[in-house]
Amino acid sequence: MSRNLRLCSTQSHRSERPSNDAPSSWLCCWRFHAATALTLLEELSTVKISHARTDILSPARGVTLRNRRTRVIWSTVDLPLIERMQQSATAFFPATASSNVEAVAMCGAAPPVRELPLPGPGEQYRFHFDMTKCIGCKCCVVACNEQNGNPADILWRRVGEIEGGIYPSTQRHYLSVGCNHCLEPTCMTGCPVDAYSKDGITGIVRHSADLCIGCQYCTWNCSYGVPQYNAERGVVGKCDMCYGRLTRGQSPACVSACPEDAIQIELVNIAEWRTHYEPLANSPGMPSADDSLSTTRITLPSSGGSGLRRVDITHLQTEQPHWPLIIMTVLTQLSAGLFAVSTWMQFEHRGAISFAAELGLAIAIAALFASTFHLGRPIHAARALKMWRRSWLSREVLLFSLFAASATICSASMLFGNSATGVLGIFTSLLGIAGVAASARLYLAPGRPAWDTRITFMEFFATTFLLGVAAMTGLSKEDLHLHALLFCAAIFCALSMSLKIVRLRFASRHELFASWQLLSTVLVNKLLLRGAFLLLGTWLFANSQDIALKSLAFAALAAGEFMGRYLFFVSVVPSNIASGYLAAEAA
């Protein structure tokens, strides 16, 4: 009978809902429908019905039961719940036995609004999350997405799971995290367009979508994975503690929607927090608060969280390859290396290659053009120069732009036989080397532990050295010095690759060892192919003088470096908060 039962909701319920700040009030409506259906079934259980097909013909007057096999078997049952709802001007919500209906916690029903004073000097707002209260319902996630109009795959607030213990003494807890509004936000310090700002009164870290160019650099810098890239809009977004609601005296959406009152906004003294944050800001399932001085206060279970770990710790997946960045980094390093080796050969009186400078310039321009395809809003690419005093991304763009301009002047000088060509070549080479250094430095991001090492500098300069020498070897006649340099460059490249693998293999940190697990399993064939390309290219250069074989040798070395840069991006495991065990529960 129940599967054919249809509940007709009334117009008064749809048009007039209780006053509630929570954006997830539709969940309250779901509870209302569920409670109404249960009440209806409870009242119908007193009527004996056999093989009956049920229709609700008039909810206000009763229920008429019809049967296809018999002529008519009917009974009328009063439904006082629906009658009361139709007679009332406001929607009726079933309550529990509690005498205070307003105190009943429902998902999406805001707790009583607490007056929150403005921060005083040396204070700011922060989140307080009580892990002992959270039940993992994800009402805060739904409320946040509804409030900010985000699609389902972009979560500014996430709920993760942590567990521990040995049966039967096991425990599981949930961790709800939005933006921590850090005292030293790494997302803000690395932004090349100054799209982030820390509010001078509230301390909230805010993001301007109008200024954002979609470079996604902040998503690498944040250890918590808070900034989320919206590919449809081409910009990044993040939690701003519902700044607009706070200015209207309302609680943030996640606070209003939590049925257990597990999330709150409170004031924090900045000076005191800097000295006492460690036991209160750190939690199992979260990266260390040391990177950016998170201000979120977390109340842990009575056990103190000992023995707890994230449930998704064994779930690994490769990251996005970022092909525009792969092309840009390899080509800029090739161009810088080509100019450096060409300048060295000129001063060693080994004969400058007439079109080496022009080739290096063309490669540099192609690299800069390819980099714009990584941006969500490439039309505003010039904004990336804005924060060159602070952001390594801005410095990289600036240095490679100056390198391309200087390469243009150097090429023109060489074409016309100007005496200043040598000096211009040195200046251009230094700019190229500085650009490679800035490029390597920007990948030392706290949110990408496998990149955050000096070995990244070795990898980038090994590519610069190897491809620069290989290009000049292919363009020049037989030169034993170039062959010796090429052999040294190949060893340097193999050494940087080996050091990285050893570091990952014996690391105690989860994200580092997880990168090794990816390289040794799903990516092992590509890793071996990268090494094979290096050996093949070096051998062909050492045993051939034919231009065709030299071209093949250079292609093999270039393919190996492109493969290595692909592995650089896809094998990194970002630091992040705990997630759900199943992909469907990753909210």
Over the stretch 276-289, which tens digit does the pLDDT of each residue have? Answer: 999 999 999 999 99
Task: Assess whether 334 and 301 both reside in one domain.
Answer: no
Which candidate, 323, 330, 334, places its Cα nearest to that of 373? Answer: 323
pLDDT score of 332: 97
Given a cut of 80, is residue 62 above it in pLDDT? no
Mean pLDDT of the chain: 82
Tell me if 116 sits within 8 A of 256, measured CB to CB: no
In a domain, 106, yes or no: no
Over the stretch 223-234, which tens digit does the pLDDT of each residue have? Answer: 999 999 999 999
Which of 62, 97, 132 terminates a domain? The answer is 97
In a domain, 576, yes or no: no
Task: Assess whether 148 and 278 both reside in one domain.
Answer: yes
CATH number of domain containing 304: 3.30.70.20
Task: Assess whether 386 and 483 both reside in one domain.
Answer: yes
416 pLDDT band (50/70/90 cuts)? confident
353 pLDDT band (50/70/90 cuts)? low
In a domain, 352, yes or no: yes
Average pLDDT for residues 385-401, to the nearest whole number? 96
In a domain, 586, yes or no: no
Task: Assess whether 404 and 511 both reside in one domain.
Answer: yes
What strands lie across the sheet with 297-299, from one edge to the other? 263-269, 123-130, 297-299
| % of the chain residues with pLDDT over 90 | 63
Task: Assess whether 341 and 263 both reside in one domain.
Answer: no
In a domain, 587, yes or no: no
Q: Cis peptide leading into 168, omega within 30 of 0?
A: yes
Average pLDDT for residues 5-18, to the nearest whole number? 35
Task: Assess whether 427 and 477 both reside in one domain.
Answer: yes
pLDDT score of 351: 56
In a domain, 502, yes or no: yes
CATH number of domain containing 364: 1.20.1630.10
Structural domains in the chain (count): 3
Given a cut of 60, is residue 403 above it in pLDDT? yes
Over the stretch 239-267, which tens digit does the pLDDT of each residue have? Answer: 999 999 998 889 999 999 999 999 999 99
Tokens of 385: 């120069």
Given a cut of 50, is residue 23 above it in pLDDT? no
Which residue range is the domain that position 129 belongs to?
Answer: 123-315
Task: Assess whether 177 and 288 both reside in one domain.
Answer: yes
Task: Assess whether 39 and 157 both reside in one domain.
Answer: no
- When comparing pLDDT for 13 and 529, which is higher? 529
Given a cut of 70, is residue 491 above it in pLDDT? yes
Task: Assess whether 405 and 532 both reside in one domain.
Answer: yes
Rounded Cα distance between 110 and 21, Å, is 7
Task: Assess whether 49 and 156 both reside in one domain.
Answer: no
In a domain, 577, yes or no: no
DSSP state string for 163-232: EEEETTEEEEEEEEE-----SS-HHHHH-TT--EEE-TTT--EEE-TTT-----HHHHH-TT---EEETT
Given a cut of 90, is residue 102 above it in pLDDT? no
Task: Assess whether 263 and 161 both reside in one domain.
Answer: yes
Over the stretch 445-464, which tens digit does the pLDDT of each residue have? Answer: 999 999 999 999 999 999 99
